[in-house]
Structure 1
Amino acid sequence: MNCLEARKYIYDFVQGNWEEDRLEDFLQHIKTCPDCKEELRVTHMIYHGLRSLDGKENMPVDRSYRKMEEEAEHFLRLGHFFSAVRISSETLVFWALFFSLFYFILGYLPLIFR
């Protein structure tokens, strides 16, 4: 992800509108690009300030920022976990069907070769 793409995604990130494929690239970019990280912090600070005025948020800005980053990384870990579970399940179903069909055909082989 380049800086332009990252900056377009900052508002969605702060809002919590995360997409697993973009989020991973975004977090990696933020870790390596100090300019985009600073823009993210400023955007979060503004968003946090507005939510504080509405009474929807009452924790300090720094803690809120760390919590947002932790939640995003947790979201990614959960996504990876469920992807692994899905792939494992699909693999198990494939092999179960394969062996079921294999044994079904083996059962008819003596009838065919009589």
Structure 2
Amino acid sequence: MTCREAERLVMPYINGELTDAELAEFLKHIDTCEDCREELEIYFTVDVGIRQLDEGTGTYNIKGALETALEISRQRIHTLYLLQTARYAVNTLCFWAVLVVLILQLRIWGQLGFLGL
């Protein structure tokens, strides 16, 4: 991801509008690019500050709120990765189970003479 693409995704990230794929790429870029990280901090500070003023509530640790939001996003991506891995494992096990059942069934049919072997 380029810096231009990351900067374009700052506000959608803050508003929670990124897809999972975009979120993963955005987090990777933010973790490695100090300029884009600073840009995110500025926009996040302004956005959260305005929201807190409008609501009359809030924490005064906006940088901590950003770190919390980033950590939650990282956990989401990690959880999605684990679920995807588990899905692949279950699909693979199901494939092999069906294949074994089919082979055993063909063997039974062969012993009973249904296959003409």
TM over 0.5: yes
2:3–2:36 CA contact under 8 A, matched in 1: yes
Q: Which runs of 4+ in 1 moved over 6 A?
A: none
Structure 1: tracts of 5 or more residues without a match:
none
How far is the alpha carbon of 1:20 from its aligned partner? 2.2
- For residues 34 and 56 of structure 2, the distance between their equivalents in structure 1, rounded to whole angstroms, comes to 29
Aligned to 2:9, the other structure's residue is in SS state helix
Q: What value does the CA root-mean-square deviation take over the aligned residues?
A: 1.5
Amino acid paired to 1:47 = D
1:28 corresponds to: 28
1:94-105 to 2 correspondences below 5 Å: 94-105=95-106
**What's the counterpart of residue 38 of structure 2?**
38
Distance 1:108 1:6, change over 3 A: same
Q: What is the match of residue 9 of structure 1?
A: 9
Q: Which residue of 2 aligns with 1:47?
A: 47
Structure 2: unaligned runs, 5 residues or longer: none
Q: Give the residue type in structure 2 aligned to 1:92.
A: L
8 Å contact from structure 1 (residues 48, 57) kept in 2: no
Structure 1 residue 18, shift from structure 2 partner: 3.4
Aligned length: 113
With a CA cutoff of 8 Å and minimum separation of 6, indicate the structure with the bigger relative contact order: 1
Partners in 2 of 1:9 and 1:56 — Cα distance?
Answer: 28
1:83 is matched with 84
Q: Answer yes or no: is the 8 Å Cα contact 1:12–1:18 preserved in 2.
A: yes
Kindly provide the CA deviation profile for residues 21-44 of structure 1, in whole angstroms up to 9, marking residues without a partner as x.
222221121122221111100110
1:58 and 2:44 correspond: no
CA distance in 2, matches of 1:13, 1:54: 21
